[in-house]
Amino acid sequence: MFPQDLTRCRINEEVTHKAWLNRSNILFAGKDKWSLDKRVTMVNSNDSDFSINIENVQVADEGPYTCTFQANNKPHISHVYLIVQVPARIVNISKNVSVNEGENVNLHCLAVGRPEPTVTWKDQKYGLVSEGEFLDITEIKRQQAEDYECITNNGVAPADQRKVRVTVNYPPMITDMKNMPAHMGKTAILRCEAMAVPPASFEWYRDDHRPVESDNTLRIKNEKTRSLLLFTNVTEKHFGNYTCFASNRLGASNASMLLFRPGAISGRATALHAGMSVCVWVSLFAALLLKV
């Protein structure tokens, strides 16, 4: 909608009678105002110009307007059709959603405007995703978690746009764990990093399934996506197999690694899902002890 519209009626002859009508309703008869609408005012009323102004134009103002006048004893009629344009505007859009990986996601974005606006969905990674009010994602993956933007436009004014955040929840997946060598009397660190939404909770266990607890030589430091075992003074009792257990409400994962004397063994630890056996590392470490 526009703040005002000026409707003109040019007259080049001597006029005896003149009027403005909206459909069959008389707005002005000469200089006399018949309309009760305060938004409609006379701009000019002379022998050459008979114009009215409509303030704060509304959709209801759209339609035919007729300027009639009589000159030289002949009636004249001039027709004007007022078209009201309304900028595109989003009036209803999905709220931010949180779903589990593998579920279906259905987003909607309803827009109004004149002329009828287009609606487009976009994401930050791939650009155009879908055209139309609805965006459907089947069996969503964790990589598809992001902000999806609805854009509506009809060329009347700058596009209107709003975003919906889609969070994808998934169970922990432990990444990048390594067996670590350590020297007696020195410091050492075992790292356990897990990707998960919501973030994982961490627990540590020794080779005989005892929970690892902090003491004056060992400290557990939990961060948002990882947990650290910090050895401040490595002693004989610290060597062995350690299992990191990461869990959230969707599931759990564990991985086992060795803290060993330099030269005894090297390589990556193995990440396992909850319930899988970790005895392979225990057996391997026991075999190494027998050889010493």
Q: What is the pLDDT of residue 24?
A: 87
Q: How far apart are CA 20 and CA 223, in angstroms?
A: 76
DSSP-derived pairing of the beta strands 201-206 and 226-231: unpaired
Q: How far apart are the C-alpha atoms of 222 and 204, rounded to whole Å?
A: 11
Q: What is the pLDDT of residue 292?
A: 35
- Residue 40 corresponds to which tokens in the numbers above? 């409609």
pLDDT in tens, the chain (292 residues): 545 555 556 555 566 788 999 988 999 998 899 999 999 998 876 767 788 999 999 999 999 999 988 877 788 888 999 999 999 999 999 999 999 999 999 999 999 999 999 999 999 887 778 899 999 999 999 999 999 999 999 999 999 999 999 999 999 999 878 999 999 999 999 999 999 999 999 999 998 788 998 888 899 999 999 999 999 999 999 999 999 999 999 999 999 999 999 876 655 555 544 433 333 333 333 333 333 3
Amino acid at 183: H
What pLDDT, on a 0 to 100 scale, did the predictor assign at position 125? 80
| The pLDDT value given to residue 128 | 74
pLDDT at 264: 65
Question: What is the maximum span of the chain, computed from C-alpha positions, in angstroms?
Answer: 126
What's the confidence (pLDDT) of residue 287?
Answer: 34
Look up the pTM and report it. Answer: 0.72
End-to-end CA distance of the chain: 87
The span from the CA of 38 to the CA of 32, in Å, is: 14
CB 97 within 8 A of CB 164: yes
What is the distance between the alpha carbons of residues 222 and 27, in angstroms, rounded to a whole number?
Answer: 77
Domains of the chain (ranges; CATH) run 4-82 (2.60.40.10), 86-169 (2.60.40.10), 176-291 (2.60.40.10)
Q: Which residues contact 272 (CB under 8 A, 6 or more apart)?
A: 253, 254, 255, 256, 278
- How many residues are given for the chain? 292
